[in-house]
C-alpha cells in the first residue's frame, strides 16, 4: 500500500522527526563506541554532580554515558568538635572533614566551581590527584574569600584519588582538614556491592595535649616534628562509633573508599575480625586479595571490598595501635543478621590465662602532670568523666557501656557496679582479676589498674553511674582518697 501525504505541514514535521531520530541514533552509536584513549570519549549532556558528606557515597555512575559534570564546591572555615570538650577551627571543602565525596567516570569533563565563603579569612585552592595538568588544578583555582574560580579538566584514569588544598603553607592547610576523595569509575562501572562507605584518616596538631579542654589552636612546631595529638577517622574522635558507626547485615558485601589526608602519618588500616577480600592497592588497578592490614600513604587512598559473614561489632583501627586507643583512630562497623556457627562458634570453653604473670598489671605513671581542672558541679563532673571514659574505657566497655560479649562485662545497668561504690573505686585504682558475675553472667578477665588522679577517678565513675540506667550516684575525690588510703 502506498501512503501519500498531501499536507505539506505534516510532511515537514515527519521529516524533522526522522532527522532527530537519525541524529539520536548517531549520538548513541558514538557513545557506545570503545575508545583507546579516554581523551577521545565524547560528552553529550550536562549534569550537576551529586556530592556527599562522609561516610556517605554518591550513587554509582560508571554505567552512564560520559557527561559534562558540574562540581560546585564551597570552602568553609568553621569551629567544630575534635572530641568531647575540645573544639578546633577546621578549614573544609563543603563543611566537613574530609570534604565532599566526588564521583565521576572515565571520560567525564569536569567543570569545577570553587567558592571561598566571604566569612573566611584566607585564600585557598584545590589540587585534585585525578587531574592531568599543572598543580592538579591548584594553579587555576587559587581563590580569595568572597570569590569563585572556575576551571575544567577531563578525567582520564580510573581509580580513587585524594584532593587537598595546596595553598602555602600547604601542610598547614591539609592539617586543618582540607582534603577529600574523588572517585573515577571505569567505563561500565565498579562491580555492584550492597554497601559503600567513605572514610579518611588525618593527623591533627594542637597546642594542648590530647583531651585538653577548650578551643585548641594549630601547633606548627608539632606538625613539623610530626608529633600528632590526634589521629582520627573523618575529622574527629568518635566520628565512626556509637550512633555514628557504619552498618551492614551478615551476608552483605561492603566497599570502603579509604583515604589518608595526612599531612604526615602513614595509615596501617585494619578491621578487627575481618579480612579484605580485595584491595585496590594505592587506589589503582593492581588488586591484592585476602589482605589483613593495608598501608595507605599520606596523600593516598585505597578501595577495599569484603563480605561480612557473621554479626557483631567490627573495630576499624590504624594498627599503629596507640593511635587507635590513645589518639582517636578508631571506628566501628556494626553488623546484624543471623549467626553462622560454621564460620564463628563463639565461646566454647573458659580458662584463666595470664601471659604477663599472675599479678595485676598497672598503667605506667607520668613523672609530671599538668595542673588539673576540677569539676565544680555534678554536671561538670559527668562531662569531664565522659572525656576520660572515651580515652581509657571505650575500647573494652564500648561507647554504650554494654561491654564485649564473653570478654568484658557491661557497665550499663550493672548490678555488680551499683551494689558497691567503694568496690568500683578500688577496681579503678588497683585493678581486678578473676571471676565475677555481672547481671547473672560470669566474666573472667583482667582489668589493669588505671593511672588516674582522685579527681579523674571521681569524674569517670560519676559519668558511668549517671549513664545507661545506673544508680545516679556521684563519686567525689574525697571518696576516692578514702579508698586509696585504706
Cβ–Cβ < 8 Å for 330, 395: yes
pLDDT tens for residues 16-28?
Answer: 444 444 444 444 4
pTM: 0.76
What pLDDT is recorded for position 275? Answer: 98
pLDDT at 228 over 90: yes
pLDDT tens for residues 391-441?
Answer: 788 778 888 898 877 678 999 999 999 999 999 999 999 988 788 999 998
Residue range 77-84: mean pLDDT, rounded? 95
* Overall fold of domain 378-484: Cytochrome Bc1 Complex; Chain D, domain 2 (1.10.760)
Residue range 262-271: mean pLDDT, rounded? 98
Return the CATH class of domain 40-191.
mainly beta
- Confidence label for 84 from pLDDT (cuts 50, 70 and 90): confident
d(CA 143, CA 135): 14
Domain ranges of the chain: 40-191, 196-336, 378-484
- Which CATH code fits 196-336? 2.60.40.420
Same fold, 40-191 and 378-484: no
d(CA 471, CA 124): 52
d(CA 209, CA 232): 15
Amino acid at each position: 500500500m502506498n501512503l501519500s501525504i498531501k499536507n505539506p505541514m505534516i510532511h515537514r514535521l515527519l521529516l524533522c522527526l526522522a532527522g532527530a531520530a537519525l541524529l539520536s541514533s548517531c549520538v548513541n552509536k558514538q557513545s557506545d563506541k570503545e575508545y583507546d584513549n579516554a581523551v577521545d570519549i565524547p560528552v553529550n549532556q550536562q549534569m550537576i554532580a551529586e556530592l556527599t558528606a562522609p561516610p556517605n557515597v554518591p550513587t554509582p555512575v560508571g554505567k552512564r554515558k560520559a557527561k559534562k559534570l558540574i562540581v560546585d564546591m564551597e570552602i568553609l572555615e568553621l569551629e567544630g568538635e575534635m572530641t568531647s570538650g575540645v573544639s578546633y577551627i577546621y578549614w573544609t571543602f563543603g563543611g566537613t572533614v574530609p570534604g565532599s565525596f566526588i564521583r565521576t567516570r572515565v571520560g567525564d569533563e569536569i567543570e569545577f566551581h570553587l567558592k571561598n565563603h566571604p566569612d573566611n579569612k584566607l585564600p585557598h585552592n584545590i589540587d585534585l590527584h585525578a587531574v592531568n595538568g599543572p598543580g592538579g588544578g591548584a594553579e587555576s583555582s587559587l581563590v580569595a574569600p568572597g570569590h569563585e574560580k572556575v576551571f575544567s579538566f577531563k578525567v582520564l584514569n580510573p581509580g580513587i584519588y585524594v584532593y587537598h588544598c595546596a595553598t602555602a603553607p600547604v601542610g598547614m592547610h591539609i592539617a586543618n582538614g582540607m582534603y577529600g576523595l574523588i572517585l573515577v569509575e571505569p567505563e561500565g562501572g565498579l562491580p555492584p556491592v550492597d554497601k559503600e562507605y567513605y572514610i579518611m584518616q588525618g593527623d591533627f596538631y594542637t597546642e594542648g595535649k590530647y583531651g585538653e579542654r577548650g578551643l585548641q589552636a594549630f601547633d606548627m612546631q608539632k606538625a613539623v616534628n610530626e608529633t600528632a595529638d590526634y589521629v582520627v577517622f573523618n575529622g574527629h574522635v568518635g566520628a565512626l562509633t556509637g550512633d555514628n558507626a557504619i552498618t551492614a547485615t551478615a551476608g552483605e558485601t561492603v566497599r570502603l573508599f579509604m583515604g589518608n589526608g595526612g599531612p604526615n602519618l602513614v595509615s596501617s588500616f585494619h578491621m578487627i575480625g575481618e579480612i579484605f577480600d580485595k584491595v585496590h592497592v594505592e587506589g589503582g588497578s593492581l588488586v591484592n586479595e585476602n589482605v589483613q592490614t593495608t598501608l595507605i600513604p599520606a596523600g593516598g587512598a585505597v578501595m577495599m571490598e569484603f563480605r561480612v559473614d557473621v554479626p557483631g561489632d567490627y573495630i576499624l583501627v590504624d594498627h599503629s595501635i596507640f593511635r587507635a586507643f590513645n589518639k582517636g583512630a578508631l571506628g566501628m562497623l556494626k553488623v546484624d543478621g543471623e549467626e553462622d556457627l560454621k564460620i564463628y562458634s563463639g565461646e566454647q570453653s573458659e580458662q584463666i590465662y595470664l601471659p604477663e604473670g599472675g599479678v595485676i598489671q598497672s598503667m605506667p605513671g607520668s613523672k609530671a602532670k599538668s595542673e588539673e581542672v576540677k569539676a565544680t558541679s555534678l554536671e561538670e563532673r559527668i562531662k569531664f568523666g565522659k572525656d576520660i571514659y572515651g580515652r581509657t574505657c571505650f575500647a573494652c566497655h564500648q561507647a554504650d557501656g554494654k561491654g564485649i560479649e564473653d570478654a568484658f562485662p557491661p557497665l550499663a545497668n550493672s548490678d555488680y557496679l551499683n551494689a558497691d561504690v567503694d568496690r568500683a573505686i578500688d577496681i579503678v585504682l588497683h585493678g581486678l582479676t578473676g571471676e565475677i558475675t555481672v547481671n547473672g553472667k560470669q566474666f573472667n578477665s583482667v582489668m589493669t589498674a588505671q593511672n588516674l588522679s582522685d579527681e579523674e577517678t571521681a569524674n569517670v565513675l560519676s559519668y558511668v553511674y549517671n549513664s545507661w540506667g545506673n544508680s545516679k550516684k556521684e563519686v567525689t575525690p574525697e571518696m576516692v582518697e578514702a579508698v586509696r588510703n585504706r
